[in-house]
Structure 1
Amino acid sequence: MKTENAMHKGTQWVTPETSIAIVASMMKKQDIGAVPVGENDRLIGMITDRDLALRALADGHDTSRLTARDVMTKGVIYCKTEESLEDAVHLMEEKKIRRMPVIDKDKRMVGMLSLSDVSHHAGRELTGELVHAVASPH
């Protein structure tokens, strides 16, 4: 199976200047745990719910002034639509990530692949490998 057959389609991103309040609101409204950050038509980072908790709240910052750029994780790990789901899962295992953007042949983000997607489209063994990798202590 190809990643494009397992991913969530229609993912949107935010700009680096987007307030973290808007990012958190998107996460709540869409029931998601990560939002890509894009600038000049390129992915430049990801914000996870963990990023918000640890980089914004735990350090006592004035959250009304923080933007996506302030809390995002730089260096986006992604897969391509034509990659096999197995290859994408192995990348997720290696990088210990639970979700990643999916890019098409024109280098456009067309979806997100999550642990939940994998659990619904891959066998138990592959899903189990991913869960074990991302659930292991750092």
Structure 2
Amino acid sequence: MPEIRSIVRENVVTAAPDAPVSDVATLMDEEDVGSVIVVEDDRPVGIVTDRDVAVKVVARREDPADVTAEDVMTGDVVTVPLDAGIFEVIRTMQDESVRRIPAVDEDGRLAGIVAFDDFVVLLGRELDQLGDVVEAEIPPYEHV
């Protein structure tokens, strides 16, 4: 079974726990991402999503400069090892009800991130290749 390292995105947008949410939101905008991994000593300790910013800050009329990443992050972030199998990661995402999951190296340091969308793209590519194989084996249709 392919390992997650084959599709993991290595360039992960990160922030410190004490980063103001205004800075985290700016990072999301500049990097065009929907989440930022909160790290301490290169280890993921939480995740802040665009939904966290909208619901826990904007909807509550909090000042994003006064709220930190740690205040709104989902702590005890679910991670997977880089050598985890793709199906194992999908199952973990389903069991934990998450759409994004950081990958860590053998020392627990952040090594990348994979999102649900990455699996959709992977599946699409695999189905396209499978379609090519099947199509090559089907005799051509004769049109009258």
- Same fold per TM (> 0.5)? yes
The 1-side partners of 2:76 and 2:124 are apart by: 29
Residue of structure 1 equivalent to 2:75: 74
The 1-side partners of 2:47 and 2:15 are apart by: 9
Once the two structures are overlaid, the 10-residue window that deviates more, 34-43 or 20-29, is 34-43
Report how many aligned residue pairs link the two structures.
Answer: 124
The 2-side partners of 1:84 and 1:120 are apart by: 17
What TM-score does the superposition give when structure 1 sets the normalisation length? 0.83
Q: Is the 8 A contact 1:8 1:117 kept in 2?
A: no
Residue of structure 2 equivalent to 1:30: 31
What TM-score does the superposition give when structure 2 sets the normalisation length? 0.80
Residue of structure 2 equivalent to 1:18: 19
Residue of structure 1 equivalent to 2:50: 49
Once the two structures are overlaid, the 10-residue window that deviates more, 10-19 or 90-99, is 10-19
**Cα shift readout 1:101-135 (whole Å, capped 9, x = no counterpart):** 001112211110101111122469xxxxxxxxxxx
Q: Is the 8 A contact 1:44 1:75 kept in 2?
A: yes
Q: Is the 8 A contact 1:46 1:73 kept in 2?
A: yes
**Cα shift readout 1:50-93 (whole Å, capped 9, x = no counterpart):** 10011111112122211111111111001111010110000001
Residue of structure 2 equivalent to 1:6: 7
The 2-side partners of 1:45 and 1:4 are apart by: 21
Alpha-carbon distance, 1:96 to partner: 1.1
**Cα shift readout 1:2-30 (whole Å, capped 9, x = no counterpart):** 10101111214211111111111111111
Secondary structure of 1:113 counterpart: strand
Q: Is the 8 A contact 2:44 2:109 kept in 1?
A: no
Aligned-partner residue type, residue 89 of structure 2: A
The 1-side partners of 2:59 and 2:78 are apart by: 25
Aligned-partner residue type, residue 122 of structure 2: H
Q: Gapped runs of 5+ residues in structure 2?
A: 126-144
Q: Gapped runs of 5+ residues in structure 1?
A: 125-138
Residue of structure 2 equivalent to 1:86: 87
Identity of aligned residues (%): 30
The 2-side partners of 1:59 and 1:21 are apart by: 14
Residue of structure 2 equivalent to 1:115: 116
Could you say if the C-alpha distance between residues 110 and 40 of structure 1 is closer, same or farther in structure 2, counting changes exceeding 3 Å? closer
